[in-house]
Amino acid sequence: MRVEDVPAEDVSFCDSGTNKAAGWKPISAERHLGELLESAPDAILEIDNEGRIAFLNRMAEQLFGYTRKELLGQAVEVLVPETLREAHKRRRVQYLNQPVTRPMGSGLKLEVRRKDGSRFPVEISLSPVKSSTGSHVTAIIRDVTERMEAEKSQREGEQRFRLMIEAVKEYAIFTLDLEGGVVSWNAGAQRIKQYTAEEIIGQHFSIFHPPEDRDVKPAQIIEIVKATGKFEEEGWRVRKDGSRFWANVVITAVRDPAANIVGFLKVIRDLADRKQAENLIKRTNEDLKQFVNVASHDLQEPLRMITNYTQLLAREYKGKLDRQAEQFIAFAVEGALRMEALLKGMREYWQASEHAEDHAAVYCSEALKKALLNLQESITNSGAVVTHDSLPVVRAEEVLLVQLFQNLIGNAIKYRSEEPPQVHISARKNDMRQWVFSVKDNGIGIDPHYAEKIFGMFERLHGSDYPGTGMGLAICRKVVERLGGRIWVESMPGCGADFKFRIPMEQSCL
């Protein structure tokens, strides 16, 4: 509609009665409509029945780069690239013969040109207008350059993503519709599942489940994903040939811009190799367990007999044999006792590995007290002084904590310097929600080069200078690992040692 077609008489947009104030004047309909057109965010043109531009607003000037004076009276095709002008003119004539309203978003798009010759895409809304001067058309023109570039970028990104997904062979990646039917299929899915895309697209994903799960579990999974947006598990899945494999499965909801679920993305990783490795480790552990049982029980009796008789020989023939014979007997006694200690250490190490994970609340101060009672003779003989700060309550098996404190304090007493041993136990919270325990001594210290090695089984840095089997710190590491933590040492030769271990706060009560 042209501004000129609006009746000239003043038509108030406010109540002309009670709201009038001194100096107030009503806005005319003509003026109001003109201001609306000029302030519109889109370009607005009015085209007469001859195809000439009869009106344009301020945004049209800005969009096309012409002044109003330059465009008024010009054929609208001046705004169309030369190669498209004849086709546009034919369509314009056809439209004026049978004019209909074409709202924005109805799909009417066109490439237009600016005064400087540059071209850009627009979306157009057309509205036929009847006036005293004939049939006119009001065109609202919106620059969609940014939108189309964004759409193009999105399409290109989706294409790259699709090509990347299709090329992945290590993972089965495919999409499902809302009912669970397979919609897409990548190379990894074909390798793992053995189906080609032609064979599987359209099939329900329950075909990948073992027969005993197909009636119930797939439907349950769909409901979980609809409710939570994601489902993940490890379990058995079935290939085309019927063979089963252990898989990690992740299903996530795919949503449209309005956040409505429109399908599902499923990613499957074949864990058959890992499962075989786990089974191998399990069998190996069973074999080791059997060996430890034999070593710590079946060999205990004959070893005890050897120990008893060699000690008897040492007592009965002391002073009756030459010095070399007595030395040989002493070596035999020492070797038998060491073997017995080794077997005991192996048994304790295995027990530390096998303790149940259902832990109860344990007061660390009570566990420490029991460890000190077990070490009473060593503490008395060495003159050791053991102190501690306030200690937390943690979830563990008390026997494991007692063993942990006992081994660390016993280690400090064993590797003492010329001064009486001083051992201090403390605990603090760190920023990662963990308890960090410290068992600090004033002993001979450890070269940092060996800070990791000392936690290995049968590892001894000082040989026969100090008694032991090399199992104590290995047992400490195993206990801490069972509690979900880590143990390490901070030390320098001659400066004592600070053995630290941390336990996640999930294992802690207080």
- Rounded CA-CA distance 246/85 in Å is 65
Highest mean pLDDT among 131-135, 161-165, 235-239, 320-324: 235-239
Tokens 């002493």 -> residue: 330
Residue 274 CB partners (closer than 8 Å, separation 6+): 246
| pTM, 2 dp | 0.40
Highest mean pLDDT among 21-25, 27-31, 242-246: 242-246
Strand bridging mode 422-429 / 385-388? parallel
**Residue 15, in any domain of the structure:** no
- Taking the CA atoms of residue 365, residue 370, residue 372 and residue 373 in that order, the dihedral angle to the nearest 10 degrees is 150
Q: How far is CA 151 from CA 148, 156, 158, in A?
A: 5, 9, 10
Q: Which residue has the higher pLDDT, 65 or 281?
A: 65
Residues 478 and 366 in one domain: yes
The pLDDT value recorded for residue 403 is 84
Residue 427 CB partners (closer than 8 Å, separation 6+): 364, 389, 390, 391, 392, 435, 436, 437, 438
Residues 362 and 291 in one domain: no
* Domain count across the chain: 4
Residue where a domain stops, chosen among 114, 143, 172: 143
The pLDDT value recorded for residue 460 is 60
Strand 119-131: give its sheet, edge to edge.
53-56, 43-47, 134-143, 119-131, 109-113
The pLDDT value recorded for residue 481 is 86
- Region 305-318: mean pLDDT is 81
**Cβ count near 142 (within 10 Å):** 18
The pLDDT value recorded for residue 323 is 82
Domain CATH code at residue 57:
3.30.450.20
The pLDDT value recorded for residue 409 is 95
The pLDDT value recorded for residue 263 is 92
Instruction: State yes or no: pLDDT of 285 exceeds 70.
Output: no
The pLDDT value recorded for residue 150 is 79
Strand bridging mode 230-238 / 244-255? antiparallel
- Region 414-428: mean pLDDT is 93
Instruction: State yes or no: pLDDT of 143 exceeds 60.
Output: yes
Instruction: State yes or no: pLDDT of 124 exceeds 70.
Output: yes
Residue 461 CB partners (closer than 8 Å, separation 6+): 446, 450, 453, 454
Q: Report the range of poorest mean pLDDT among 284-298, 315-329, 331-345, 382-396.
A: 284-298
**Cβ count near 229 (within 10 Å):** 13
- Rounded CA-CA distance 92/364 in Å is 90
Is residue 174 classed as helix, strand or coil in its secondary structure? Answer: strand
Q: Report the range of poorest mean pLDDT among 354-358, 412-416, 493-497.
A: 354-358
**Domain enclosing residue 327, as ranges:** 272-354
- Rounded CA-CA distance 126/141 in Å is 9
Residues 225 and 193 in one domain: yes
- Rounded CA-CA distance 173/190 in Å is 10
Instruction: State yes or no: pLDDT of 464 exceeds 70.
Output: no
Q: Which residue has the higher pLDDT, 191 or 300?
A: 191
The pLDDT value recorded for residue 10 is 42
Q: Report the range of poorest mean pLDDT among 3-17, 124-138, 145-159, 196-210.
A: 3-17
Residue 214 CB partners (closer than 8 Å, separation 6+): 206, 207
**Cβ count near 326 (within 10 Å):** 16
N-to-C CA span, the chain:
78
The pLDDT value recorded for residue 445 is 92
Instruction: State yes or no: pLDDT of 211 exceeds 60.
Output: yes
Q: How far is CA 1 from CA 94, 140, 488, in A?
A: 20, 12, 84
- Strand-pairing partners, residue 467, are none
- Rounded CA-CA distance 44/2 in Å is 11
Q: What's the full length of the chain, in residues?
A: 510
Backbone φ/ψ region at 321: left (φ over 0), alpha (ψ -120 to 50), beta: beta
**Residue 494, in any domain of the structure:** yes
The pLDDT value recorded for residue 317 is 81
Determine what percent of the chain is predicted with pLDDT higher than 70. Answer: 77
Q: How confident is the model at residue 320 (pLDDT cuts 50, 70, 90)?
A: confident
Instruction: Strands of 337-408 (E only): list them.
Output: 360-363, 385-388, 393-396
Residues 338 and 402 in one domain: no
**Residue 19, in any domain of the structure:** no
Q: Which residue has the higher pLDDT, 168 or 228?
A: 228
Residues 252 and 297 in one domain: no
Instruction: State yes or no: pLDDT of 8 exceeds 70.
Output: no
- Region 479-502: mean pLDDT is 91
**Residue 23, in any domain of the structure:** no
**Residue 34, in any domain of the structure:** no
Residues 170 and 264 in one domain: yes
Q: How far is CA 399 from CA 233, 404, 452, 456, in A?
A: 35, 9, 25, 21
Q: Report the range of poorest mean pLDDT among 64-68, 212-216, 480-484.
A: 480-484
Residue where a domain stops, chosen among 143, 168, 202: 143
Strand 434-441: give its sheet, edge to edge.
385-388, 422-429, 434-441, 497-504, 486-491
Cα 492 versus chain centre, distance: 39
The pLDDT value recorded for residue 330 is 81
Residues 319 and 395 in one domain: no
Q: Which residue has the higher pLDDT, 5 or 458?
A: 458
Domain CATH code at residue 324:
1.10.287
Highest mean pLDDT among 55-69, 124-138, 269-283: 55-69
Q: What is the DSSP letter of 464?
A: G
Residues 97 and 240 in one domain: no
Average pLDDT along the chain: 81
Angle between helices 323-354 and 272-293 (to 10 degrees): 140
Instruction: State yes or no: pLDDT of 290 exceeds 70.
Output: no
Q: How confident is the model at residue 461 (pLDDT cuts 50, 70, 90)?
A: low
Q: What is the DSSP letter of 298?
A: I
Tokens at 260, concatenated: 């409505």
Instruction: State yes or no: pLDDT of 74 exceeds 60.
Output: yes
- Region 119-143: mean pLDDT is 85
The pLDDT value recorded for residue 70 is 93
Q: How confident is the model at residue 295 (pLDDT cuts 50, 70, 90)?
A: low
Instruction: State yes or no: pLDDT of 6 exceeds 80.
Output: no
* Alpha helix (H) residue ranges in 126-271: 145-167, 187-193, 197-200, 217-228
Please, are residues 419 and 442 in contact by the beta-carbon 8 Å criterion?
Answer: yes
Q: Which residue has the higher pLDDT, 303 or 217?
A: 217
**Residue 76, in any domain of the structure:** yes
- Rounded CA-CA distance 443/420 in Å is 9
The pLDDT value recorded for residue 12 is 40
Q: Which residue has the higher pLDDT, 401 or 156?
A: 401
**Residue 446, in any domain of the structure:** yes
Residues 130 and 169 in one domain: no
Residues 198 and 296 in one domain: no
**Residue 166, in any domain of the structure:** yes
Q: What is the DSSP letter of 294?
A: I
The pLDDT value recorded for residue 112 is 93
Q: How confident is the model at residue 141 (pLDDT cuts 50, 70, 90)?
A: very high
- Region 412-432: mean pLDDT is 92
Q: How confident is the model at residue 11 (pLDDT cuts 50, 70, 90)?
A: very low
Residue where a domain stops, chosen among 245, 270, 295: 270
The pLDDT value recorded for residue 18 is 46
Residues 347 and 362 in one domain: no
- Rounded CA-CA distance 230/261 in Å is 12
Please, are residues 79 and 70 in contact by the beta-carbon 8 Å criterion?
Answer: no
Residues 361 and 490 in one domain: yes
The pLDDT value recorded for residue 339 is 67
* φ, ψ (nearest 5 deg) of residue 234: -115, 135
Determine what percent of the chain is predicted with pLDDT higher than 90. Answer: 37
Cα 113 versus chain centre, distance: 49
Q: How confident is the model at residue 179 (pLDDT cuts 50, 70, 90)?
A: very high
